[in-house]
């Protein structure tokens, strides 16, 4: 997890075939001193070509685009540029789609009617803390959990220590590694070790999986 140094900027790319929407986002972000828009694309293929020459920190990725849509593009970004954060943009809030996209590597999901401040906060939070969870993503992850349970799949029941529970709660509150380390009074490296242990104990492959586990076991309250 990283945070921009004083005077540093978060490099952002946007892939969306709606020129007016792109222009609106560009205008809104241009007033933020810590954001730099470094690339714009009309579709996923164009974005992937741009990424050969410039690597942003965060990508705003539309789902519905001609030639190559966001669903096809996301796995390619994950494979080629695993450290780049991807925020999905969509006109729809289909829970099964959100759950699927989070599981294959999206760092957040926003509807296109989100205000500019929400988009800005999502960019900053994903850059600094890897994920930006909101009501949409939490409900979708819970929905995905229910589907898995009705399909006969069950989550691994884990016995977590008090320290592991505390770290998991703080992670779900979007605290940074450093913040968790300070609160629990352990080193950042120990926080990372506990996070890896939590994934092993709960059978989760990602932070999204850990959130689903926390919701299912009422470690955090679902709104």
pLDDT higher than threshold 90 for residue 137: no
Cα gap 169→184, rounded to integer Å: 11
Decide if pLDDT at 147 tops 60: no
Quick one: pLDDT at residue 154? Answer: 43
d(C-alpha 57, C-alpha 220), whole Å = 29
Residues 6+ apart with CB under 8 A from 164: 194, 197, 198, 201
User: Sheet holding 35-41: strands in order across?
Assistant: 35-41, 10-15, 58-62, 85-90, 108-111
Residue 212 contacts residue 145 (beta carbons within 8 Å):
yes
Per-residue tokens: 74? 């996301």
Is residue 202 within 8 A of residue 158, CB to CB? The reply is: yes
Percentage of residues in the chain having pLDDT higher than 90: 42
**Once rounded to an integer, what is the mean pLDDT over residues 166-171?**
88
Question: Which pLDDT value is given to residue 15?
Answer: 95
| Most confident of the ranges 41-45, 109-113, 164-168, 194-198 | 41-45
CATH class of the domain at 10-144: alpha beta
Domain ranges of the chain: 10-144, 155-216
Residue 69 CA to residue 207 CA, distance in Å, equals: 25
In this model, does residue 151 exceed pLDDT 50?
Answer: no
CATH of 155-216, one of 3.40.50.2000, 3.30.110.40, 1.10.10.10, 3.40.50.970: 1.10.10.10
Query: Looking at residues 154-167, what average pLDDT do you find?
Result: 74
Tens of pLDDT, residues 11-61: 999 999 998 999 999 999 999 999 999 999 999 999 999 999 999 999 999
- pLDDT above 90: residue 100: no
Confidence of residue 211 (pLDDT cuts 50, 70, 90): confident
Q: What is the pLDDT of residue 223?
A: 41
First to last CA, the chain: 26
Of the ranges 86-95, 152-161, 202-211, which one carries the lowest mean pLDDT score? Answer: 152-161
Tell me the whole-structure pTM to 2 decimals.
0.67
Q: Residue 204's pLDDT is what? A: 77
Residue in this structure with the two tokens 């695993």, named with its chain if needed? 82
Please tell me the predicted confidence (pLDDT) of residue 155. Answer: 44
Decide if pLDDT at 62 tops 90.
Answer: yes
């Amino acid at each position: 997890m990283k945070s921009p140094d004083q005077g540093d900027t978060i490099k952002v790319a946007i892939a969306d075939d709606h020129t007016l929407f792109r222009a609106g986002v560009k205008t809104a972000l241009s007033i933020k001193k810590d954001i730099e828009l470094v690339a714009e694309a009309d579709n996923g293929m164009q974005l992937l070509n741009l990424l050969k020459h410039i690597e942003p920190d965060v990508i705003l990725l539309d789902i519905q685009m001609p030639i190559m849509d966001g669903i096809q593009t996301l796995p390619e970004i994950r494979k080629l540029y695993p450290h780049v954060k991807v925020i999905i943009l969509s006109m729809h809030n289909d829970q099964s789609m959100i759950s699927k996209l989070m599981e294959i590597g999206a760092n957040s999901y926003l509807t296109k009617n989100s205000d500019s401040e929400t988009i800005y906060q999502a960019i900053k939070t994903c850059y600094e803390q890897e994920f930006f969870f909101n009501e949409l993503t939490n409900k979708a992850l819970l929905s995905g959990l229910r589907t898995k349970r009705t399909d006969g799949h069950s989550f691994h029941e884990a016995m977590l220590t008090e320290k592991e529970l505390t770290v998991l709660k703080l992670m779900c509150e979007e605290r940074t590694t450093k913040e968790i380390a300070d609160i629990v009074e352990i080193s950042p490296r120990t926080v990372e070790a506990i996070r890896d242990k939590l994934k092993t104990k709960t059978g989760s492959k990602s932070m999204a999986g850990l959130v689903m586990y926390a919701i299912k076991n009422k470690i955090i309250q679902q709104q």
